[in-house]
Amino acid sequence: MGGCVGSHHDSSGSLNENSDGTGVALGRNQPLKRDKPKWKSDYPMTDGQLRSKRDEFWDTAPAFEGRKEIWDALRAAAHAFESNDHELAQAIIDGASITLPHGYINSQALRHPLRNELEVPETLSIMIFVILNILLLIIQPGKGNESQPPNYSILQPNVLAVEVNLAESNPMVNVSLRCEETDNPREVSWQYNGAPMDQHGNDITVTVEELFGGNYTCYDSEGAFLNYTLVLVRSSGHKILMGSGDTGYIACTSQNYNGSFQCSWSWSPDRNGEVMFVTATRWSKGSEISCALGSSQQSISCQDQTYCPYAEEVDRIVIELGVRHKYRLEKYSVSFYINEIVKPDKLEITKIDQSKIEWEYPRTWSVPDSYFPLTFEVKELPHKKDCTCESKCRRNKPVKVNTTQDRQWTVKKGFIICVRAQDALCNSSWSDWSQYITRGKGSRKYRRSNPQ
């Protein structure tokens, strides 16, 4: 109910135990391998031609076999893997309930619980290897394609994202820059981070070493500014945002089940970053969820217009965030169901009489209450204690936490009553504590905390 009865895919589970003779049980899910396939075209093919074939494949594949939402999930996983975001690709595969018996995405190793195998026509066999194994990652180009390195891409107008393999003994990438898109270019000079360069002309090639990107600007013969290109170097490390692989880097929460949610992050103390891109999508739908970036560039507010609070969530929401510090570019991602991030607002407590209090569901919570029930935790603490107190709060006695679905409580003078709420059907986050304070023994003055 309320979007909370959806099944969750267990990536370690088994759909069947049949073996194909390779020693790997079919149906037993294997982690997506990091190996990047190598392939060479039988005939000269440019990078643009190969990308065109890839797009054609994704657009037509669902018309042959399998469910469209599964193909869409595979497409999202391919793009994530192509961007070297192995964790996101694995999360998409898991979220779509796709099993990889051998740890590879190919026509012989894709299974889904609603269709034992995903197959495509034999005429597309070469595209299976090129597309489903995400061939554009490391292509050994055929003749005619040697001058087009696949290791940098246009992140946005005037901004290039460069892939430099730091594992190499001499990590560097040659990048082609153009000042003006014209058939009759003017005499052009260049500067790198404000310093004059020896190279001249409308088209130049620069070498990007390790993580040393920069801002390349071009000028006409009289020194007038013409254009610029910001070259950022993608980094597989996570140093711009605070967090860790265990705690995460992006925190998301939702007040209810109306399809809206918020996500936030924090810059590392010595790095003031800048958001270069942020997207929110559901895998099978393929369309972006509308999001607005906060003025501090440390949060987003999003709304999924197609979300239905009364239906089971089939796909996870995927957030992708690209941030830069100087010329370093890092990509972060997180995925979730709404029911995993829902957190009710604080409860508003009111006094019934001298001995009882009551509270209501938050006004922002989804209705009806019968379909979106809440459960409550109540604890009593001595005066001058705080609701966040967890130990040594009552003369070294453990604090008793009472769980109830009632909305009334008998108060004791001289005590603080703490109440919080959680979705009764999901193991999601508890609301922040609300407190009700009696003003000392024998006093008839009460104070209640207002919800935020």
pLDDT, tens digit, for every residue of 345-357? Answer: 999 999 888 888 9
Domain match, 58 and 197 both: no
Question: Coil, strand, or helix at residue 418?
Answer: strand
Average pLDDT, the chain: 76
Neighbours of 113 (CB within 10 A): 13
Please name which of 298, 295, 289 lies closest in space to residue 261, comparing C-alpha atoms.
289
Mean pLDDT of 358-377: 94
Q: What is the DSSP letter of 187?
A: P
Which of 72-86, 400-414, 432-446 has the weakest average pLDDT?
432-446
The number of folded domains in the chain is: 4
Report which of 123, 97, 127, 91 is spatially closest to residue 110, judged by C-alpha positions. Answer: 97
Token readout for 120 is 């495509």
Distance of CA 147 to the CA centre of its chain: 34
Provide, rounded to the nearest whole percent, the portion of the chain with pLDDT above 70: 67
Same domain, 116 and 175: no
Query: Are 1 and 137 in the same domain?
Result: yes
Q: Are residues 194 and 261 in the same domain?
A: no
The pLDDT score that the predictor gives to residue 352 is 82
Q: Is 33 inside any structural domain? A: yes
Question: What strands lie across the sheet with 299-303, from one edge to the other?
Answer: 251-253, 260-264, 299-303, 290-293
Identify whether 269 is part of a domain: yes
- Per-residue confidence (pLDDT) for residue 107, from 0 to 100: 41
pLDDT tens per residue across span 140-166: 333 333 344 447 788 888 999 988 877
Other CB atoms within 10 Å distance of the CB of residue 295: 7
CA atoms within 13 A on the CB side of 219: 13
Position 446 confidence tier, pLDDT thresholds 50, 70, 90: very low
Confidence at 91, pLDDT banded by 50, 70, 90 = confident
Q: Strands 225-235 and 328-336, how do they pair?
A: parallel
pLDDT digits (tens, 9 = 90+) for 419-432: 999 999 999 999 99
pLDDT given for residue 64 in this prediction = 55
78 confidence band (pLDDT: 50, 70, 90): confident
For residues 202 and 119, membership in a common domain is answered with no
Judge whether 129 lies within some domain.
yes
- 306-311 long-range CB contacts below 8 Å, 24 or more apart? 306/259, 306/282, 307/258, 307/259, 307/338, 308/3, 309/2, 309/3, 309/256, 309/257, 309/258, 309/259, 309/366, 309/372, 310/2, 310/3, 310/371, 311/3
Is 370 found in the same domain as 309?
no
User: How far apart, in whole angstroms, are the C-alpha atoms of residue 369 and residue 407?
Assistant: 13
Strands 348-351, 415-423: pairing kind:
unpaired
Task: Give all strands of the β-sheet with 408-410 in edge-to-edge order.
Answer: 348-351, 356-360, 408-410
pLDDT at 6: 40
Q: Give the Cα separation of 102 and 33 in Å (integer).
A: 9
Same domain, 63 and 120: yes
Residue 203 lies in a domain: yes
Who wins on pLDDT, 63 or 33? 33
Which amino acid is it at 68?
A: K
120 and 185 assigned to the same domain = no
Q: How confident is the model over 251-293, as pLDDT tens digits?
A: 999 999 999 999 999 999 888 889 999 999 987 666 668 999 9
What's the pLDDT tens digit per position in 324-346?
999 999 999 999 999 999 999 99
108, 110, 115, 121: CA torsion to nearest 10: -50
295 and 187 within one domain: no
Q: Answer yes or no: is 271 within a domain.
A: yes
Handedness of CA 153, 156, 157, 159 (dihedral sign): negative
Domain stop point among 113, 146, 179 = 146
Within-domain flag for 244: no
Could you check whether the bond before residue 269 is cis, i.e. omega within 30 degrees of 0?
A: no
pLDDT at position 385 is: 79
**What backbone phi and psi angles, to 5 degrees, belong to 441?**
-65, 135
CATH number of the structural domain spanning residue 5: 1.20.225.20
**What average pLDDT does this structure show over 173-181?**
88
How far apart are alpha carbons 313 and 342 in whole angstroms? 13
Dihedral, 302, 307, 311, 313 alpha carbons, nearest 10 = -60
Integer-rounded Cα radius of gyration of the chain? 28
Check whether residue 87 and residue 221 sit in a common domain. no
Query: What is the C-alpha to C-alpha distance for residues 224 and 203, in angstroms, rounded to an integer?
Result: 17
User: What is residue 126's predicted lDDT score, i.e. its pLDDT?
Assistant: 41
Residue 2 and residue 114 in one domain: yes
Q: Give the Å distances, CA to CA, from 125 to 47, 49, 64, 130, 132.
A: 20, 17, 13, 9, 10
- Please determine, for residue 451, whether its predicted confidence score (pLDDT) is greater than 60: no
Predicted confidence (pLDDT) per residue in 210-237, tens digit: 888 999 999 998 899 999 999 998 887 7
Residue 106 inside a domain? The answer is yes
Distance CA 417, CA 156 (A): 53
pLDDT at res. 67? 66
Ranges 39-48, 309-318, 432-441, most confident: 309-318
Compute the 3-state secondary structure of the chain and give helix, strand, coil in percent, each to the nearest 5.
Answer: 15, 35, 55
Q: Where are the beta strands (DSSP E) in 119-273?
A: 152-156, 159-162, 172-178, 189-192, 195-200, 203-209, 214-219, 225-235, 251-253, 260-264
CATH number at residue 416: 2.60.40.10
Q: What is the full DSSP assignment across 288-314? A: BPEEEE-TTSSEEEEE-TT--TTS---
Q: The tokens 């996500």 sit on which residue?
A: 263
Which structure tokens are listed for 74? 């595979």
Asked whether residue 175 is assigned to any structural domain, the reply reads: yes
Residue that finishes a domain, picked among 341, 362, 384: 341
Please give the pLDDT value at position 300: 96
Domain with 320 in it: 251-341
- What would the pLDDT profile of 40-66 be if each residue is shown by its tens digit? 555 555 555 566 666 667 766 666 556
Which of the listed residues 106, 126, 146 is the one where a domain comes to its end? Answer: 146
Over residues 30-35, mean pLDDT: 69
Residue type, 171: P
Q: Are residues 142 and 173 in the same domain?
A: no
pLDDT at 133 over 50: no
